[in-house]
Amino acid sequence: MTADRNAQLADWMQMYGDWLLRTCVLILQDYALAEDAVQETFLKAWRAADRFEGRDGCSEKTWLMRIAVNTCSTMRSSAWSRHMDRRKLPEEMNLPSKEEDLTLLMMVESLPYKQRQVVTLHYFSGCSMDDLAQVLGINRSTAHYRLQKALKTLRIAYKEGDDIHD
Amino acid sequence: MTEQDLRRVLQESTANIHWSKDQQTVLQSHAAGGSVRPRKKLVFMVILALMLTATLSIAVAESLGWGLTDFFRFRQEEKILQEHPEVVQTKIPQQFSGSDNYTVTITEAVYDGFASHVVATIKPKDSSILLLDETVDVDMGIPALNLSYMEFDFFDEDAHYPTIGEWAAEHGKKPVKYGYMLSKESGGDYSQLEDGTQVLYESTYYDNGPDTLPMTLSVLFYDPEKGPDQGKQEEVEVKFTLQKTPPKWVRNFKPALEVKECGIVIDEIKLSTTVMATYLHVQFHALESETTTRRYYWFLLAEEDGTFREKAHAGLNHAGQGESLASFAPLGDVPPSTITLLITDHEDGTEHLIRVDVPQEEQP
């Protein structure tokens, strides 16, 4: 059983490591914290691997993301994150060379936490509304409402320039 | 701007971020050994622990003895402190202002003149007090933040999970929030033990601080419903002093080095190596235009091949106008004859490598 779990851990890191780390960097806006969050995520998943059986139609990928998002929320509450300078993006990120792209990135990263979380999960991590509901532990309509609210915030921020449209 | 743009920008901006092989190896090696070493950093561990008191014993919690190495888990500092336990100060002279309700103690510290890392504990005397860091929301649903630690496997959308406040009321606990600050600006982390003790860790940075460093930790306790102003219950402080562990070597020199590609002149370099880290402080000025003076540059210590030297995670990183401070994995016991600096333009991301001679004697 342990060997299976260990092999599973290796598979998870191989398949989802980059994806989870990038998501956590966008959500936490801190590379070191994001690394910790992903590490914590894999540890939690490793411990709970025996309990994961794809319940409630939740895919393995969604399950890992749910743990990661919860871990990010916990870390964000920590005293350390309160001292972070949120005006700066992590230096590990590629800053877009085009000014409008940079503006868009900065706007996303300036969103309130829950809105940034939902925008990252939907537009970066590829979570559908159902995935969002499962990952965030909220119902589908709440997920939809939260995403629309985030887009509205971005639209307002963009009111003097371009607009976000489908 | 379209949703496709949004997707593209988020994808492109993180394209170079990869889950490191080192992290994979660490986790896999623990797993291969049959167990993954559990992290003790559980911000809401107290909630979990209180809910599982049937299986957890307070004696075990106390024996955990949270210290600096726990906060530096999996970071280079963990290994450094294990190899150099002599730099960890455990018998710290301190004076607590006193309280009928709490005990605040400075338990461990490291101080090398450039950084101090301090661990303190806050322990309620009344076991019914549920201490919460000021960032914790009493209305927060418990399982939402403790998925894998709780016995709840998965969320049930229709179920009602208790908030921290509801859980506290149900179990006769009185939530009390606390905020704290050191006498100098600091950053840190905290953890909560099973018996309700809060363990704080704070790092502070100095420009060659004194041999004996006086510090004060102030802690404010307040009613979470009323906030820190209206609901203030008590304020306590601990005055303590830290002794400097002398650096291995220090080289402060003025190379007056022109870096044309960046349009700057490096005026002064302060390079100091202690057991904990190598600290690099660079001061520079712009050659000409106002544009250049507004640009921010990171000066990173690089290996000879140009790859950048691992940073000290618990260290200082700051880029300001005309200066850059950063800390790295410690260099050797004697100063190198040259160092390689990786200069990064914070604005456009361009990088320049330069080599700088290090004087073998300390300049007056």
Instruction: Dump pLDDT digits (tens) for A132-149.
Output: 888 887 777 777 777 887
Spatial separation of the C-alpha atoms in residues B87 and B276, rounded to whole Å:
9
Q: How many residues does chain B have?
A: 364
Confidence of residue B74 (pLDDT cuts 50, 70, 90): low
Window B:46-65, CB contacts with A under 8 Å? none
What is the structure's pLDDT at B320?
Answer: 67
Spatial separation of the C-alpha atoms in residues B291 and B286, rounded to whole Å:
9
Residue type, B363: Q
> How many CB atoms lie under 10 A from the CB of residue A123?
23
Q: Quick check: B9 and A46 CB within 8 A?
A: no
What is the structure's pLDDT at A45?
Answer: 81
Contact criterion met (CB below 8 Å) for B154 and A55: yes
What is the structure's pLDDT at A72?
Answer: 85
CB nearest to A70's CB, from B5, B147, B190: B147
Q: Closest approach of chain B CAs to the CA of A67, in angstroms?
A: 7
E strands along A74-150, which residues? none
- Most confident of the ranges A20-24, A51-55, B129-133, B154-158: A20-24
Q: Closest approach of chain A CAs to the CA of B43, in angstroms?
A: 7
**Which position has the higher pLDDT, B318 or B144?**
B318
Spatial separation of the C-alpha atoms in residues B204 and B314, rounded to whole Å:
10
Q: Quick check: B188 and A79 CB within 8 A?
A: yes
Instruction: Dump pLDDT digits (tens) for B255-274.
Output: 989 998 888 899 999 999 99
Q: Does B157 touch chain A (CB under 8 A)?
A: yes
Q: Closest approach of chain A CAs to the CA of B306, in angstroms?
A: 17
Q: Closest approach of chain B CAs to the CA of A158, in angstroms?
A: 9
Q: Quick check: B27 and A46 CB within 8 A?
A: yes
Beta bridge partners of B108: B119
**Which position has the higher pLDDT, B50 or A118?**
A118
Contact criterion met (CB below 8 Å) for A149 and A115: yes
Confidence of residue B95 (pLDDT cuts 50, 70, 90): very high
Interface ipTM: 0.89
For residue B51, CA distances in Å to A110, B57, B127 come to: 36, 12, 14
Q: CB neighbours of B52 closer than 8 A, spacing ≥ 6?
A: B151
For residue B130, CA distances in Å to B40, B123, B235, B279 come to: 19, 10, 17, 40
Q: Which of A115-124, B36-45, B174-183 has the lowest mean pLDDT?
A: B36-45
Q: Quick check: B348 and A67 CB within 8 A?
A: no
What is the structure's pLDDT at A40?
Answer: 82
Spatial separation of the C-alpha atoms in residues A38 and B170, rounded to whole Å:
34
- Mean pLDDT (whole number) for A118-133: 88
Q: Quick check: B133 and A77 CB within 8 A?
A: yes
- Mean pLDDT (whole number) for B208-213: 93
